[in-house]
Structure 1
């Protein structure tokens, strides 16, 4: 049985952190340098009392209103987040009540970052193929800003907060993007290169001492740590192979793909991948200037922007690729039927 991405919406918090704001905090950084290298001008930041669950609920409410979707039509809820409200209960269970979804719905959280949307699609397709569900709500939401040290200029330049809501059905409607074959991968040897060490069972919250990392950023074990060069090396080594393998798995060649939408990590990394894969600029879509790297929501936000712009059209094939924390990575081709 086929599965289709039919509707996408997203929510961005009201507060905006611009390059001008960052330049005031860190005078040694120029606005032009940030914009040119990272490809981001604004990031939306969750308020102190706004959580990933709150943002996810708002994204779904936008989806329901814009696309005339009834809550009672949903029979499974998948919630992707690495910044949940609680260790337990599962945020998806609370979301079920807040959205008025039927009590017969299946609901679960899964903890993945920049590859989370791709993995969520794979779970949704499997649920449909197994006859378990027909109308699946996939929600991706992160508040990485709450992990960042205020003096960590590197990561504060990159990450923004956002939530996205995607409806996946067993029949085409709306966008009608048929989900193809997946290629997935995992390498836990890179776990320490993108991590929040303190807070869970391995290292419970303690009074953390701030220190300067190897890249001049102030951080602590309670904050997000990212080894940028190692993340870049991992991406450069694995993602070109991922893309080529997924194209072959879908019985295509590179020229068959009309658009490439990768996880919107930063412009420097994306342009490096584009050149390494010899992808034409007009086929390689970047939509992150207005919101930053929103982790698991970057790909659905970019897809929604492309849909609104009428950049993607019926009959076209789009390769989606997510990669990052874990390490984890995944790709899939969708076709607008």
Structure 2
């Protein structure tokens, strides 16, 4: 039975970006060799992205998640063995199975201590993961959760398609949530509509040892943009209503870092000053499920996000999925 006075609080955050930083000019030079034209000006004007990071060939999603998790564990000041729930949000797992969460649990040296599983909600994955971990903790089933968003999206990009390959990058972000009598995650709202599954997808699967369908990301950019700006405002307001707060009560907005125009539109609709939005898309690109926790960690470590402040996270991604959480940090 849920304990009414029990909350889940963020104890620590962590992140990791692979060392290979790829600027727009680097990418344009690479694409030119394949006969694909783009430029720094073209990419920045449409997305706000200046650079992104790509994992090296020998780096897996769980490798990125490991370093982000270790940084979060260190920031939280906890013993890794106290973690009794691991949730990894990813669309680019190491394997079909076992889950990336189980691989991460092993790399962290955590032995037989609670559940570990992946969440697949694409760019909304971290919001889904936070809401899930919060529910487990509030129910009394778990006490300390590690929630990670980690991606190696560079592996599923078609570098002949300039409308998608310039958008995405690799990285990982993590938070430690722990049971507390002090308010932490105040409210969450999650949604999905599978009728939009075709506008953003990687429509391939493994069949008898081969890829059936396409293993590359496909996106209808205009359809995604239109849907995203509509649902992000609504889910943000829904989460705020559940928390009995208004946009004026929010100190920091951390949206999914997909496209600066989508982010700015959401901020305007919520009537929040642009200065209260955490923006990392320029340096990170779209890292899918990793984008929110990466931005969260950046703003915590540079001192913008302070204890006691209200943080609104929100994401939208393929599925189509969207979600938001209000967090008192």
The TM-score with structure 2 as length reference comes to: 0.90
> Given the alignment of the two structures, is residue 17 of structure 1 paired with residue 22 of structure 2, yes or no?
yes
Cα shift readout 1:185-222 (whole Å, capped 9, x = no counterpart)? 1100111111111124699614x7xxxxxxxxxxxx22
* Structure 2 unmatched runs, 5+: 1-5
Distance 1:318 1:47, change over 3 A: same
Matches within 5 A, 1:166-185: 166-171=175-180, 178-185=184-191
Q: Which piece of structure 1 moves more, 327-336 or 22-31?
A: 22-31
CA contact (8 A) 2:148 2:293 kept: no
Equivalent residue in structure 2 for 1:256, among 244, 249, 253: 249
Paired with 1:309 and 1:151, the residues of 2 have a C-alpha distance of 37
C-alpha deviation, 1:58, in angstroms: 2.2
Structure 2 residue aligned with 1:115: 124
Match of 2:13 in 1: 8
What are the superposed Cα offsets for residues 293-336 of structure 1, whole Å, 9 maximum, x if unpaired?
Answer: 11111111111111122112233212111111111111111113
Deviations 1:57-85 (A, max 9, x none): 22223333454432211111111111112
Contact 2:315 2:324 in 1 (8 A): yes
> How large is the RMSD of aligned CA atoms in angstroms?
2.1
Question: Among 46, 60, 72, which residue is 1:37 paired with?
Answer: 46
The equivalent residue for 1:154 is 163
* Counterpart in the other structure of 2:140: 131
CA distance in 2, matches of 1:320, 1:243: 8
Using the TM superposition, give the Cα deviation of residue 154 of structure 1 relative to its aligned residue in structure 2, in angstroms.
1.9
Question: In the alignment, what sits opposite 1:211?
Answer: none
The number of residues matched between the two structures is 320
Instruction: Write the distance in 1 (CA, Å) between the matches of 2:183 and 2:292.
Output: 14
Residue in structure 2 matched with residue 188 of structure 1 by the alignment: 194
Q: List per-residue Cα deviations over 1:147-170 (Å, max 9, x = no partner).
A: 011212222211000112211101
| Counterparts in 2 of 1:179 and 1:295: CA distance versus 1, 3 Å | same
How far is the alpha carbon of 1:264 from its aligned partner? 0.7
Secondary structure, aligned partner of 2:7: coil
How far 1:274 moved relative to its partner? 2.3
Output the CA distance in 1 between the equivalents of 2:307 and 2:93.
37
- Counterpart-to-counterpart distance in 2, 1:4 and 1:65: 16
Matched with 1:214 is: none
Question: Where does the alignment leave 5 or more consecutive residues of structure 1 unmatched?
Answer: 209-220
C-alpha contact 2:248 2:272 (8 A) present in aligned 1:
no
| Alpha-carbon shift at residue 26 of structure 1 (Å) | 4.5
Question: Residue 216 of structure 1 aligns with which residue?
Answer: none
How has the CA–CA distance of structure 1 residues 177 and 30 changed in structure 2, closer, same or farther, with 3 Å as cutoff?
Answer: farther
Query: Which residue of 2 is the match for residue 46 of structure 1?
Result: 55
Deviations along 1:117-148, whole A, 9 cap, x unmatched?
A: 11111111111111111111112211111001
TM-aligned CA distance change 1:44 to 1:177, over 3 Å: farther
